[in-house]
Amino acid sequence: MTGESDLGWLPALPAGPKPVYLKIVDALADARSNGRLQPGDRLPPQRELARLLGVDLTTVTRAFSEARRRNLIDATAGRGTFVTPGEPEEPALDLSMNIPPAPAGLNLPALIRIGIEGLLKRSSAEALLSYHPGPGSPAERAAGSSWLAAAGDRLPADRVVVGSGAQALLTAVVLAETQEGDTILADALTYPGLIALAGATRRNLAAVGNDGEGMRPDDLEEAARRHGARFVYLNPTLQNPTASVMPEGRRRELARMAAKLELTIVEDDPYS
């Protein structure tokens, strides 16, 4: 702007409950987006703008401060206040993949609604929102037994424990099966939660060698004998953090080696 550059832009402030200083900021953002104000344009001095709008100087000062925070304007001592190009000071974070895409061909909201309605028919909302018995209710344990049977593990319901989360259950198993100072065998790249758990419970972690199919049975035997370890942590399906999947044959080889050495294997399978 030239000639009347300082006074050529005067925001129109709409009626409404929004604070006046925010109305000024919104008007500034709109003028920049529609091209009425261009990067580098100089704005009227705060005192003059306050007089023209009929508001207190403190209102305009507050508006300019908020506009600077939003990177809409920039002020230079002795020169005035100018419209900025508007690029964000920090790159925006892409959070789109924090929500997985809906399955193709399914009405996911409808399925969720049907599932919740069915759940509320079988149990009250009060029961669902209250603390449950330690190992889970009989119905939950029976459901877990049926689910495991479909995967080939036929466990009676009284041997199934339902917990408040994988980390809590993993902690319980580690505390029950190992002592302070014991060694846990795991992949060299393993679940960060296990690393934190071992540190918090004063257990040691030892890496077992692997190849393209996962943990090697011969390396497991060597590590177990060298460390005197009896506890093995495995995450064979979509392993964290490599996302690898262990073939069925390798799983059977490791199971046979664990039986031979009388090792306890914990299979962490959150994606089953």
Q: Above 70 in pLDDT, residue 91?
A: no
Contacts of 57 (CB under 8 A, 6+ apart): 46, 47, 50
Contacts of 172 (CB under 8 A, 6+ apart): 163
Percent of the chain with pLDDT over 90: 50
Count the alpha carbons within 13 Å of 20 in the hemisphere toward its beta carbon: 13
Q: Above 70 in pLDDT, residue 8?
A: no
Q: Above 60 in pLDDT, residue 99?
A: yes
pLDDT confidence tier of residue 245, bands split at 50, 70 and 90: very high
Condensed to tens digits (0 to 9), the pLDDT of residues 101-155 reads: 777 888 888 999 999 998 888 777 777 777 776 788 888 899 889 988 887 777 8
Fold of 20-83: Arc Repressor Mutant, subunit A (1.10.10)
Provide the pLDDT for residue 85. 83
Domain pair 20-83 / 166-267, same fold: no
Question: What residues does each domain of the chain span?
Answer: 20-83, 166-267
Contacts of 20 (CB under 8 A, 6+ apart): 13, 55, 59, 63
More confident call, 95 vs 197: 197
CATH number of 166-267: 3.40.640.10
pLDDT confidence tier of residue 208, bands split at 50, 70 and 90: very high
Q: Above 70 in pLDDT, residue 7?
A: no
Cα 81 to chain centroid distance, Å, stands at 40
In this prediction the pTM is 0.56
Q: Above 70 in pLDDT, residue 5?
A: no
Q: Above 90 in pLDDT, residue 34?
A: no
